[in-house]
Amino acid sequence: MAVSTKSRRNNYVLVVFDSCRYDSLMRARPCTIMKLGKVERRWSYASWTSPSHYNLLIGLMPHTSPRHVYASEYYKKDILQFNERLGCKNIEFKSLVPKLFLPTFLHDTLGYRTHAMVSLPVLNPKTILNTGFDSYKLMEKHNDMRAMVRQMKFSEKQPNFFLLNVGETHYPYALPDEPPDRWPRISGVHGVFKHLDDELVGGKLRARKDKFFDSRKLGELRQRQITAVKYLDGVVEQLFDTVPQNTYITITADHGELFGEDGYFGHGPIHHEKVWEVPFVEGKLR
């Protein structure tokens, strides 16, 4: 069955707070973000930035982990939600075939203008994720969502899709106006991937004589992420003021983060509940 559309398709904005834990977002009490709806506790399909964004861009949002449900049926139901997000009818999982990639489907089948602005170097334009986009940009700063919002331009002739990968909630949990010499410096961390383009991923904390990773230090790091969410709530208010009225917005995270739980810090090569646990909220602006 062919995909049909209503009288006016929605613009769609997918905002990904990189590394943001569900409980960090809830502790921040982001009033603007919560205007979209109830914030759900969901689970990421991956524990690291690149594979998680690939899942997001094939249309699989963080999942709810329901019992007594076949995975294939859950996937079908998840994809059906795009009918509401986009203002369409008859979108099914098979609609994305053969490429199974949301930006390509939006661009080639539904006539969307497609754009991505990313903060993390592992998502740079030379990666496989840069498929089906009219524009794909690695931002100059890893922690400046406001700069993304200022650059958003919406076509009046076509519906628009934006992917925004937001870095303020990623280590070092720094706001745009914070000088780099004040960012926290993490030492004593090891893991399968310790650094990738100077991006700390995560691993097991080693015991150190100076006890760098004491509970107070780790608490400060988690508070920095909470503070980042509070700041981003104001940027989301600017986003709401920028997008056209017929815009559906999803705000989520690609994965969570460890702040010392069971001896771990960060994300990536770690199997722990807090790496998979993410916030999820979405809705249409009226």
The DSSP bridge partners found for residue 136 are 116
How confident is the model over 226-245, as a mean pLDDT? 97
Give the amino acid at 40: E
Q: How far apart are CA 102 and CA 125, in angstroms?
A: 17
Digit-coded pLDDT (tens) for 274-285: 999 999 999 997
Report in angstroms the alpha-carbon separations of 26 from 23, 226, 229, 230, 267.
5, 9, 9, 10, 19
Digit-coded pLDDT (tens) for 17-52: 999 999 999 999 999 999 999 999 999 999 999 999
User: Which pLDDT does position 267 carry in this prediction?
Assistant: 86
Q: Which CATH class is domain 4-284?
A: alpha beta
- Supply 196's token pair: 């990738």
pLDDT score of 1 more than 50: no
Digit-coded pLDDT (tens) for 125-161: 999 999 999 999 999 999 999 999 999 999 999 999 9
Question: Domain spans of the chain?
Answer: 4-284
Question: Which residue in 73, 65, 54 sits closest to 280, CA to CA?
Answer: 65
Confidence of residue 196 (pLDDT cuts 50, 70, 90): very low
Q: What is the pTM of this model?
A: 0.90
Q: H or E element: which one contains 229?
A: helix 215-242
Q: How far apart are CA 280 and CA 43, in angstroms?
A: 9
